[in-house]
A and B are shown apart, each in its own frame.
Chain A
Amino acid sequence: MKITMAHGSGGRSTSRLIDEVFRSANANPILDMMEDSAVVDGAAKIAVTTDSFVVTPLFFKGGDIGRLAVCGTVNDLLMRGAVPKYITSAYIIEEGADFETLSKIAQSMAETAKEAGVTVIAGDTKVVEGNGGIYINTTGVGFVYDGADIRSANCKAGDAIIVSGTLGDHHAAILSERMGIENNIKSDCAPLCDMVRNMMDAGVEIHAMRDVTRGGLGTVLNEFSKASGCRFELDEDSIPINPEVAGFNKILGLNVMHMGNEGKLVGIIAPRDAERALKIIRNSRYGTAAEIIGTVTDGEGVVMNTHVGGRRAIIELYGEGLPRIC
């Protein structure tokens, strides 16, 4: 069955769509009340973030727009030292979208929310003219750990730079799908709750943290550099990359430092905690390939120490990047 404009009318068709697709996937006491807003418990300090997801194709190796819509928002909360608690989900659906496709996406979203430990507490559905496209906005609320102060400006000379795994996988997976290239590259799309909570619970001194999404590591580190007034020195040989992604990049002329990921974080960690943090991340789900890739120093900018012993600057993403990657 296809979605029509009637499913956005606010009447019976809309109720049917919500019941059959969204409530059946996300049943919980808060949603089931079907009130105009959700009333929930809070915390002394909360983190809030919102994000819209427009990825194409809707399904790709390693994930889909539903899983992405949860991971993207949950990871943004985690990066400030918050435990993700609640999430909202708003769909904009173009007429002609498949009922079954929508159900699969809603189901995937529900499963990912469960994995990430967040409750879907509010939702919305709109139908617009178009050609079967599906877009999702999620807003997330997290409870911030007591005393957590994780932000870009806190990076200090001497800090270790840790990435939680191989870079570029999501970007390469999406591009492969679009170009019809067959390979084994999978998106890394994942909620990073486990590794962040393990670090927070162990009292690791995290100065700054970001999930490495659009713009890639090069862009994130340049933002850190500007916010903190420090230089970020990287060691090319320790940057983790899946060999298949490396080959793909070589053929297409892509630079892994500017590729998007959906399940990788970069942590700027106090030097005395660096090895401990690395171990914790490697022992967490989705973190086995983590590496210490460099050091924060005095100065400015981002510098790569290359395999042959040269140095090159890394700037933020230039040009257009890859559109509709998330």
Chain B
Amino acid sequence: MADLNGIKRRLREYDGEPLTIMEVCGTHTAAISENGIADMLSPKIRLVSGPGCPVCVTVASYIDRLLELAMQPAMTVVTFGDMLRVRGSEKSLRDVTAEGASVRMIYSPFEILKLAEAEPDRTFVFAAVGFETTTPVYALMVEQLIQRNIKNVKLLTALKTMPGAIRAVAADGTAVTGFLAPGHVSVITGHRLFENMAKELGMPFVTAGFEGADLLCAVYALTRLRGGRSLNMYPSVVTYDGNKAAQDIVNKYFEPCDGAWRGMGIIPRSGMKLKDEYAKYDAGSAGLTEDRLYNGACACGDVISGRKSPNECPMFGKGCTPDTPQGACMVSMEGSCFHYYINKRK
């Protein structure tokens, strides 16, 4: 049995077939950068970031719709911080705030309930983006709206689920040979989902935690697993079946729909929308599929789907930096470009 030092040595000295391992989750991208893991691996093991940053995969027409809503009288757009600086086809929420739009940044989605109760004549629209991890929170929010009879909160949804995007990456003539399955998503879905995906795609999946040692062990496992094998290396919080209560409340209020992914196009059944009977809580999310890069030179699509490293984008570090982001991947704290830039990851 290898200890951590043994694993580190084997990863450094790995001389088998070249591997390209995709970390699907934005928080994994952050942890890999912060721990300096990429530099600890043999040149034959390449890590690439995947489509797991919710802000990064949001299309321009969704942002444009948020801006429209924010400019309307008696309406406030409420969002997490990452979304403020992402541009739609032209402007960001931050830009229109300076022009008089009403935008509030909050840290917990439940703060919106307080805002709404304090100002009943104003409509609050929540920018509901996220994956399997975040959707249960929005479902709880809708449940609260119903229970507390709050009528002035609506959701503009661009919710997504991972399997469709992972299939798209795997089908795309990619070099990816295996996946670090998203740890937080797995908490909700259970490891079973990724066990099934491994079998379906004939590629190894390892569900991993977020500490440096977790990631090293998971990458090591991916150097040993072949074909459709999978492993849950985050069993302290990821069960086989996942969080049933979270799955149930999501299924109560939401249903699958086609999802529009920035730079990747429309992927069937990779989105979630409010069920028809709860449509009165929707702020007009349907049909927001059109995508347009603010800066045509950005390689966002290639970066999000793992075909290019962030530093292979012609804009990276030249005009596109965290201070002057051209694409969402450089804005978000889960964005791959952002992390490659701040930690000078190679």
Contact in complex: B107, A179 (CB < 8 Å): yes
Q: Which of B37, B38, B323 contacts A308 (CB 8 A)?
A: B37
B23-36 vs A, Cβ < 8 Å mask (1 yes, 0 no): 00000001001111
Q: How far is the CB of A323 from chain B (nearest CB, A)?
A: 13
Total A-B residue contacts, Cβ distance less than 8 Å: 55
Q: Which of A179, A309, A318, A319 contacts B40 (CB 8 A)?
A: A309
CB nearest to A304 among chain B residues = B36
Q: With a CB–CB cut-off of 8 A, which chain B residues contact A301?
A: 344
CB nearest to B342 among chain A residues = A315
- Interface of B: prevailing SS: helix
Query: Which residues in window 30-70 of B have CB below 8 A to A?
Result: 30, 33-40
Category for how many chain A residues contact B: 10 to 19
A252 CA to B36 CA, complexed, in Å: 21
CB nearest to A319 among chain B residues = B322
A313 CA to B321 CA, complexed, in Å: 15
**Given contacts A318-B321, A319-B322, A319-B323, are A310 and B39 in contact (CB under 8 A)?**
yes
**Given contacts A306-B212, A307-B35, A307-B212, are A312 and B322 in contact (CB under 8 A)?**
no
Q: With a CB–CB cut-off of 8 A, which chain A residues contact B35?
A: 306-308, 310, 312
Interface centre among B8, B216, B343 (most CB of A within 10 A): B343
Query: Does A114 belong to the interface (CB within 8 Å)?
Result: no
Query: Does A311 belong to the interface (CB within 8 Å)?
Result: yes
Contact in complex: A312, B344 (CB < 8 Å): yes
Contact in complex: A311, B107 (CB < 8 Å): no
Contact in complex: B344, A306 (CB < 8 Å): no
Q: How many residues on B have C-beta within 8 angstroms of the other chain's C-beta atoms?
A: 24
CB nearest to B30 among chain A residues = A253
Query: Does B206 belong to the interface (CB within 8 Å)?
Result: no
Interface centre among A252, A253, A311, A312 (most CB of B within 10 A): A312
Q: Which of A252, A305, A306, A319 contacts B107 (CB 8 A)?
A: A252
Q: With a CB–CB cut-off of 8 A, which chain A residues contact B344?
A: 301, 312-313, 315
Interface centre among A253, A304, A319 (most CB of B within 10 A): A319
Query: Does B345 belong to the interface (CB within 8 Å)?
Result: yes
A307 CA to B39 CA, complexed, in Å: 14
Query: Does B22 belong to the interface (CB within 8 Å)?
Result: no
Query: Which residues in window 89-136 of B have CB below 8 A to A?
Result: 107
Q: How far is the CB of A203 from chain B (nearest CB, A)?
A: 38
Q: With a CB–CB cut-off of 8 A, which chain A residues contact B38?
A: 310
**Given contacts A304-B36, A310-B37, A310-B212, are A318 and B343 in contact (CB under 8 A)?**
no
Residues in B lying within 8 Å of A, measured CB to CB: 4, 8, 30, 33-40, 107, 212-213, 216, 321-323, 333, 341-345
Instruction: List the 9 closest pairs (A to B, CB-CB), nearest first.
Output: A310-B36, A308-B212, A313-B344, A318-B322, A312-B36, A312-B343, A311-B36, A306-B36, A253-B333
Residues in A lying within 8 Å of B, measured CB to CB: 179, 252-253, 301, 304-315, 318-319
